[in-house]
Amino acid sequence: MRVASVVLLGIVAVHRCGLPGLLSAQTPAADLVTGARVQLRAGNVDSGLALLRVALDSSTAGSSTDRMNAFVWQGVLQFFKGRDSLARESFREALLIDPRLEVAGLAQIDSALATEFEAIRRTIQPPALARPSAALGRLAGAPRQDTAYTCAPECRGLDQPPRALSPEAQTVIVSRAEGASVMGGVALVRFVVDTSGAVEPASVTVVSSPNPGLAESLINHVRRLRFAPGRAQGRAVRVVLQWRLNLRG
């Protein structure tokens, strides 16, 4: 069994209800998920799983978002119990509700969690959309300005993905002060390239890194990059990219 000795982002410090009071289908699913997160923080993995079973019961009131959250946290708790196959199945259930689901902070809990989650995502194909004919495309008009296509992890619906203008765009030089003992390695980042080829500053997130202290440097590196924008139906479009950055000491 893995030890849940991490501080999870967003976990509240205290929950006012005890475990017996929460174990009821009348308790909203969102409260049950919050209670499960508190139990994990306290090291009570079995108690957290009990709460999530109630949250996922068909008689418990909750939205599809609540169910996605419950499945994700069920996967995290199963991971800490050493039940990797059950963890993967829980992640799959969450992604079947919405294949575009993003879970911030998994890599901070354990990098293996983020890796497993993305591996499951790659096995789930979103519903295929028929490619419009050129004539129909002209009638339908250009993509909406705020439409974001995705290349995370694979490109979908694009005629041409964004292309970095610098051949060294995916290499980051890490100084001794920044990287400490990290002399090399790979980081995974996700960001949006707009229709002009610039990176949307607020969109940059570090999915995984060999050193959490490098996050600010990685984000600043990505924000400075320039691209030939992605194109769909002959027009420049916004695109979500997921990139591997090679770290060099």
**Tens digits of residue pLDDT in 30-76:** 888 888 888 878 888 888 888 888 888 777 767 778 888 888 889 88
The full length of the chain comes to: 249
Can you tell me the distance from the alpha carbon of 243 to that of 155, in angstroms, rounded to the nearest whole number? 12
Q: Provide the domain limits for residue 61.
A: 19-122
What's the pLDDT score for residue 4? 37
Treating both helix axes as pointing N-terminal to C-terminal, what angle do 64-80 and 45-55 enclose, rounded to 10 degrees? Answer: 160
Q: Is-above-0.75 flag for pTM?
A: no
User: For residue 185, what pLDDT is reported?
Assistant: 84
Q: Which of 196, 6, 235, 12 is nearest to 113 (CA)?
A: 6
Number of structural domains in the chain: 2
Q: Are residues 219 and 153 in the same domain?
A: yes
Within a domain: 190 = yes
Given a cut of 50, the residues of the chain with pLDDT beneath it are: 1-19, 21, 24-25, 128-130, 136-142
Tokens of 58: 């068909």
CATH number for the domain harbouring residue 47: 1.25.40.10
Cα 127–chain centre separation = 20
- In the chain, % of residues over pLDDT 90: 20
